[in-house]
Every structure is written in structure tokens, then in C-alpha cells.
Amino acid sequence: MAFNSLPFIFLFLPLVMAGWRLVKPRRAALVFMMGASYTFYAFAAGWLSLLMLVSTTVDYTVGVLLDREERPARRKLILLLSLAFNLGLLSFFKYYGFFIETVNDVAGHPVLANTLHIILPAGISFYTFQSMGYSIDVYRKHLAPSRSFIEFAAFVSLFPQLIAGPIVRPGFLLPQLHDSRPIDNSRVTNGMMLFTCGLLKKVMVADRLAFYADPILSAPRRFGSVDLWLSMVAFSLQIYFDFSGYTDMARGLGRMLGLELTVNFDSPYHADSPSDFWKRWHISLSSWLRDYLYIPLGGNRKGKARTDLNLMITMLLGGLWHGAGWNFIIWGGFHGLLLLVFHRIETPWRRLPLPVRHAVMSILILFTWVPFRMHTFADLGTFVQHASFRPDPPTAPRELWGYCVLGIALCALPKNSNKIDWNLSWRTTIAFALLAVVAILHLNLSSKFIYFAF
Amino acid sequence: MPPQSPLETKKLIVFAALVTGLLGVILAANVAVRGRTSGYAEGAGTPRRAGLERLNANPDKCAMTADPAPDNERPMRHVNAGLIDKVDVLVLGQSDADHMSRDFFRDDVHFYNGFISNSYFVYHYELYLDLVEAHGVPPLVLYDVGSGYIHSESEEPEWDTPAKSPLWWGFPPFHLGKAQPLPWYKDIPSLLSLAQSQLTLTWLEHQLPQSRAAHGTGGEGALQSDNGELYRCVDLHKPSMMNRWMADGSRIYREERDAVFAPTGPVSIEKARGDRKINPTRLRGLDFSLGQIVAKGSKVIVYSPPVHPQVFDEPKQVGIVARSGAAVREVAEKYGLDYCDLTTEAASLGCGPRDFYDELHLSRHCNQMIVKRLASGCAPRAGAALRAVLKPAVLE
């Protein structure tokens, strides 16, 4: 039951909104929200939703223990246990198969047997980072631990942001859950518009792009350079509209429930440098990695070489976070390399005219999506070979060109969905309602959100 | 409760009411129209269905113009399954079976050629299921598996898992391999789809008197001018610039007249030689399709039709074709089925150069020679069943 499904829009959402409004005692409302969120999650993860309950229990207990313990060594030990548990869980479910495969590939013959056919629970990377962030914040005394298990469980499992983020900081969301904030209708309308905007991004742009580009990118050996690069442009637009569409829907849902969620995208294709890109793309993950990995590693405080190393470690792990595959590590490494080079040429780079910086960045970002999309070395090699050396006449359907132009035009708009005032005029409200109907009529061709796989 | 802005509350109500109201109207219209036009979602009055109705009403006069492509042929077969009579002998396979004809069979035998050009095996099973649903299990299936198909690079989709190909997704209800109509309340996503709504609009448009006159179905005097449009009912005995389908499901090529065509020119060895590895997904597709059809109770004869002898000017083709034949035979044997490999048998069948439209596509005469061979010992298990339904002249 994803956001882009009829049961969610017409059954689950109205029921949850009604329940959240009608159940008055705060504790009961949180129990209701937790129940709704676990129900939502169970549709995606089945019995593996119990894992989230285990993870929540561990981190809640860690918070309580850290609050009671003042001795630094003991506090550190408690935190390390929490990190070991969370990262162990994530590694087992996400990277076990990858590890076995890599060992066997390196050995050249099967050394380890992959006897456990592990299913990756949806959203595990997101909720693990969210609850791990809580333990670290409590350890650092940046945050008072939650006094209520229900409140904490509602925070970890909150359905709008559960499966694909944004990764919300506990200090941002827990107080909102703690304080009983009344919901006013202007926020609900506002949230509905933002949700509709996200739905349109997903269904009318991302899914349409994927529909025409996927057959080409799934069989790169059959196509020439124009088709392949056009499809890669389509993918770079698809992933943006898919993920930012999901985020808009999540934030819109939050507003309908009277909650504010973190901004996750800020026109990333307007970036004029690699570091600017990471301030605009998947902001909740990049800021998480900065605060909980890059800075603890030493950040830029330990000399140039160490800064480079820290940056590269952060980007490689950021890549690996996306998925258990070498292509994601290459993608992270590629971005790490761009950041390292940029730090060395920042001053002359800034002297270049803005359109030149934008153009160069757009091309570089397009290149980085190649390893992200081509999942195997064989496909990656074929793509690079054909995209570079096979100038066949284009065969891609005209629709693909059209949707790419539409996507680029939408990306070029000066205001993104975070900056639009969603308290719309009557005319725009009615136009949005009609667009929502069109999007819903396309739902049966809508596919899963890309970031559900991470 | 906080003080609510009356304006914002109004907007909220209007937005929600507009969305749910409009969708409710669309859903109600789609349900109503779907109910009136049978379980097959392509309703009366759509050009394809109207064309097929005319074709079936005029089997001796009419050939229907259509595009030879799976994204047309697949829905065309799907719609036609509900329009034709029961099927006694069914041909499944790709386009090299397109000249298998009802002329080979006794007059009381209901024959249907269900070939689909450039298709996956799951498409064949999809059509088979449509026919089973509409008329019961066809007693005899002739399954054409050309040697090249097993070598095709394109990955065969799984029955229950859509491939990343718009062809396999199709539009509702032609997606996910589920061709059977669902009860409307289980089919909300497709009933609230753009495609379904477009079909409803087309149907409603058809109700207008002038449109009904333009699209009229069936009846005497249904022949239409051959003006290059799709789904026209054109004279069966005249050449045309378009491919045409006959009521028995077989095809007539452009310019072909009364089963005589002019070969297209040099034989393309690349297409026919199968100079590739055997594609395991294709074999799995064949295995799945055969397994399902046998389980439903049809007798099946699997055969590989001859390819143009010139293909074997490339010496390595002999080995490649033999490996393909062995792989198909293994799958057929798994289900206890006959497999008749005629890939290299053009000469012994009596199929000469004029019987090959190109390297793969065969004349009606050559197809007649194939059924004769299948009924004459090449298919020891089900050959007798085929012999029993053929015209005596075919066996002479």
C-alpha cells in the first residue's frame, strides 16, 4: 500500500486523518498513530515489521540507560552497543548477500554458500538511521530522552516518512508529537496540495519517463549513443521527480496530520558545484552523514589529507547506504572525487560565469547517474561502450523526448515545491483538483518508488 | 479546536468533493459501460472490435486490415476470443505459422490460427486461456516453435511478473499476463484508469447516431474501401498495401492474392540463422506455456517449421539449429508430447523457393505439407487426432 495507490488515498488516509483528529487524549492518539503506522508498514514488510519494533525497543532502552548513566566510559559502551545492534541489523539484512557474492567473486569460485535467502525489509535504512540518530543525540546530550515508549515508537514508525524518508531528526519531530497541536484546515488544504504536487511528480512525470526509458536502459546493447544518453537524461529526471515527489507526498501527509517534516530537496539541478549539489539533494541523508559520520571522523579539522579521506569515506558509505552493490559504491566514490577536485579548484571555479558552472555540473551529475542506474559491471561496460562509440540514429519514441523536455522545464522553474505558498487561490485549487483526478486515472500504470529499494 | 478559516475550510471541502465526485462519475460510467459490453474491456464500437465483428460476420468475403505487431495483435486476439466460435484445432506460435489455414481441415472442424507476430510464449498461453474461458479447452493444439525463437535475445517475461517492457504491460486489462476479466470491484485500478476511461468515451461516442453509422458492424455488404485504414473489411480476393487477417485467424501479406505471394527478395540469414546462444528464459517460457496447456487437457503437437535452405549456406547454422531442436525436444518430452523438427526439411516437404516469403514465412501450400507430415507419422502420439480432422485431400 504505497502513497500512489487507491487503497491508500481513499481508504487508509481518510481513516487515519479522521482517527488522528477524533482521538483526543494525546497518549491514545499516539497509540492510534503507532498502530496505523505499523499497519501501513506491515503491507510493505510483512512480519519483518516486527524488526522495527525490536529496533525501537533497543534504542528507547538505550536512551533511558544513557539518561541514568553519567560515567563517560559506561555511556560510551551503551552507545557502542546501540550502534553495533543497529548497524549489525542493517548489515545482516542489507549486505549479507552482497558480502557472500563479493567473497565468491574475488575467490573466483563459490567459497561461501548463500543459504539464507534474506528479504530486505522496506525502509530499514531509513528507520535505522533515524533511531540511531536518536541514540547519538541522547549520548551527546543534545536531546533529552523520550519518556514515553509510545511517543518514541510513533516517532520511529510515523508512516509518512517511514519507508523512504526524509530522515527526520528526533529533536525536530519528537516535540511535535509530544505537544498536542491542534490541526487547522488551512494546513490540511496546504498538505493536500503538496501531496497532490508529489503525486503529479511521481505519476505524470517520473513514471512516464521510466515507461519510455526503462526498456532502453534495461538492454543497452541494443541501442546507440543518442538513445542511451537520452534515456540517462530521462533517468536523472525520473529519480529526481520520483524521490522529490515521494518527499512532497510525505511532507503533505505530515501537514494533513498537523506535523512538519524535514525538507529533503531544494532544486538540486540548480546546483553550481558538487558541494552545492549535496546541500540540495537528499538533504536529510547528506546532513545526517555530515553530522554523524563526517564530523565525528574529524571533518576538516585534521589537515587536508585527512579531510580528503574523511570525505571519501563518507561518500563511499553514503553510496553503500543506497544499496548493496558495487555500482552504488562507484556512484558514491564518483561524487567523493568530484568534491575532492572541487575543493582544490574552488576559487577559479567560482570565477566562472554561473551558466557555465550550471552546465558543467549538469553534465557531471548526469555522468554520476550512469553507475547508479546500470546495476552490473557488464551493463555499465556496455553502456559506456555504446554511449561513447555507437552513434546510431536515434530510435527512442518521440514521447521520451517530450517528457525529457517537460522534466527539464519543470526543473528550471525558479520555485520548487518547498518554496511555493500552497495556500492557493480558488482557481488554482480547482485546477489542482482536476490534475489530481488525471494523476489518479494514471495510477494503474504507476510503479514503485525508486527509493523503496534502499 | 483552533479557529478555522472559513475560506480554507471551503477550499478543503471543494477540493475533496471535486476529486471524489469526478472520480465517482468516471468510475460509475466505466462500470456501467463495462457491464453492457461484456467482460472484454474493449467495448462495442471501438474500431478494432467493430472490425473483428465485421470479419466474423463475413468470413468468406472479408479480410481485415491490421498492423502486424504484438501490441496490436495481442489485444486483437484477446477481443476476438470472445467473438469467434468454439475451437477444435488451435495453432499457437509466431508469425511463421501465419498461413496455417482452415482450408486444410474438414468443414465441420472449427479451426483457429492464433499466431502472434514476434511474441513471447506467455502471450500464446494468454490467448489459450482466453479461448478456454470463452469456449472450453481446445482439443488439439499445433504449437509452432521456430528454431530462431529459442535464440532470441529478448527476455521472455514471467507469467506473473511484468517485464520492463511496455508491450508486456499493455494497457488494462492486458497487463500482468492476466487476461481474464475481474469482477469490477476487484478491478478498481483499471476501471479508474485513463485507458478504461478512453474506452468508455469511445463507447459513448459510438452511441451517437452519426458515429454508429460510421462504425456499423456485421451484416451483408460489409466490404469497405481499401484506403489504408486499420480494421477495414476489404475484399478477401484482392491484393492490398496492407497486411490483412482472415476470419480463421491466418494472415494475408501485402500484395498477396489467393494464397500466392511474391518472395521479398534475398534471404536474411541473420534473422533465421539463430547465430546466438539458446536463451534460457525463452525455454522456461515454452516449458511454462506447454505445461499449462497440457494440464488443461489439450493434445499438443510441437513442431519447428522449415527455414529457407539458403540459410544453411552458412555452415555453422546446421549445428546451431540442431542444438535448438534438441532443447525444444527436451521440453516437449518432459510433457510426453510429440516434437516434429522440420527446420531442415524444406526440400523433403516439397517447399520450394516460391513457398518462402522470406527466410521464415511460409506459403499456405508449405503449411499444408507441414500438417500432412505431422499427421503422417512425425507426431506418433497425437498425429492420429490431427489426421482425423484433416480433409482427405490434404493427406493424399
Q: Would the CB atoms of A6 and B4 count as touching at under 8 Å?
A: no
Mutate to test the interface with B, among A440, A442, A447 (most CBs of B within 10 A): A440
pLDDT of residue B270: 59
Interface residue B37 vs chain A (CB under 8 A):
no
> Do residues B310 and B269 make contact, with C-beta atoms less than 8 angstroms apart?
yes
Kindly list the distances between the CA atom of residue B287 and the CA atoms of B74, B179, B292, B299, B374, in Å, as whole numbers in the listed order.
20, 20, 9, 15, 21
3-state secondary structure of B83: coil
The arithmetic mean of pLDDT across residues B227-255, rounded, is 88
Q: Give rounded-to-5 percent helix, strand, coil for chain B.
A: 50, 10, 40
B361 grid coordinates: 514465412
pLDDT above 60 for B181: no
Instruction: Give the number of A-B residue pairs with CB atoms closer than 8 Å.
Output: 87
| Residue-wise pLDDT tens digits, B256-294 | 888 888 887 667 665 554 456 788 889 999 999 999 999
Q: Chain A closest CA to B70's CA: distance in Å?
A: 16
In whole angstroms, give the CA distance from residue A379 to residue B303.
35
Closest CA to A219 of B279, B117, B153: B153
Q: Chain B closest CA to A209's CA: distance in Å?
A: 12
| Residue-wise pLDDT tens digits, B95-139 | 999 999 999 999 999 999 999 998 889 889 989 988 998 899 999
Mutate to test the interface with B, among A10, A235, A238, A445 (most CBs of B within 10 A): A445
pLDDT above 90 for B204: no
- pLDDT category of residue B330 using cuts at 50, 70 and 90: very high
Ranges of H-type helices in A46-184: 49-68, 72-90, 96-107, 124-139, 149-157, 159-162, 170-178
Q: What's chain A's Rg over C-alpha atoms? A: 23
Say whether A322 is catalytic: yes
pLDDT above 90 for B53: no
Interface residue B23 vs chain A (CB under 8 A):
yes
Give me the sign of the Cα torsion angle B295, B299, B304, B305.
Answer: negative
- Which position among A142, A178, A322, A442 bears the catalytic label? A322
Q: Would the CB atoms of B9 and A192 count as touching at under 8 Å?
A: no
Nearest-CA residue of chain B relative to A427? B11
Closest CA to A89 of A134, A147, A128, A139: A128
Interface residue B184 vs chain A (CB under 8 A):
no
Q: Would the CB atoms of B164 and A214 count as touching at under 8 Å?
A: yes
pLDDT of residue B4: 61
pLDDT of residue B165: 42
Nearest-CA residue of chain A relative to B26? A441
Interface residue B354 vs chain A (CB under 8 A):
no
Question: Measured between alpha carbons, how far apart are the two ends of chain B, in Å?
Answer: 92
Closest CA to B325 of B341, B337, B336: B341
Range with the lowest mean pLDDT among A297-306, B65-74, B201-210?
A: B201-210
Q: Would the CB atoms of A443 and B189 count as touching at under 8 Å?
A: yes
pLDDT of residue A367: 93
Closest CA to B389 of B142, B91, B107, B100: B107
Q: Chain A closest CA to B236's CA: distance in Å?
A: 34
In whole angstroms, give the CA distance from residue A318 to residue A408.
26
pLDDT of residue B170: 44
pLDDT above 60 for B182: no
Which residues does chain B have within 8 Å of residue A444's beta carbon, measured at their own beta carbons? Answer: 172, 175, 189-190, 192-193
Strands, sheet with B299-304, edge to edge from the N-terminal-most edge strand: B111-113, B89-92, B140-144, B299-304, B338-341
Q: Would the CB atoms of B19 and A433 count as touching at under 8 Å?
A: yes
> Cell 520492463 belongs to which residue?
B164
Interface residue B60 vs chain A (CB under 8 A):
no
| Residue-wise pLDDT tens digits, B336-395 | 999 999 999 999 999 998 899 988 899 999 999 999 999 998 999 999 999 999 999 999
Cβ under 8 Å to A: B residues 120-179: 153-154, 164-166, 169, 171-172, 175
Q: Would the CB atoms of B165 and A215 count as touching at under 8 Å?
A: yes
Instruction: Spell out, as residue ranges, where chain A has pLDDT lower than 70.
Output: 114-117, 180-181, 445-446, 448, 450-454
Mean pLDDT, all residues of chain B = 82
Nearest-CA residue of chain B relative to A430? B15
pLDDT of residue B213: 60
Q: What predicted TM-score, i.e. pTM, was given to this entire model?
A: 0.69
pLDDT of residue B362: 94
Q: Would the CB atoms of A192 and B16 count as touching at under 8 Å?
A: yes
Q: Would the CB atoms of B22 and A426 count as touching at under 8 Å?
A: no
**Interface residues on A facing B, Cβ-Cβ cutoff 8 A:** 6, 10, 182-186, 188-189, 192-193, 211-212, 214-215, 218-219, 222, 423-424, 426, 429-430, 432-434, 436-438, 440-445
Which residues does chain B have within 8 Å of residue A184's beta carbon, measured at their own beta carbons? Answer: 2-5, 8
Interface residue B9 vs chain A (CB under 8 A):
yes
pLDDT of residue B247: 95
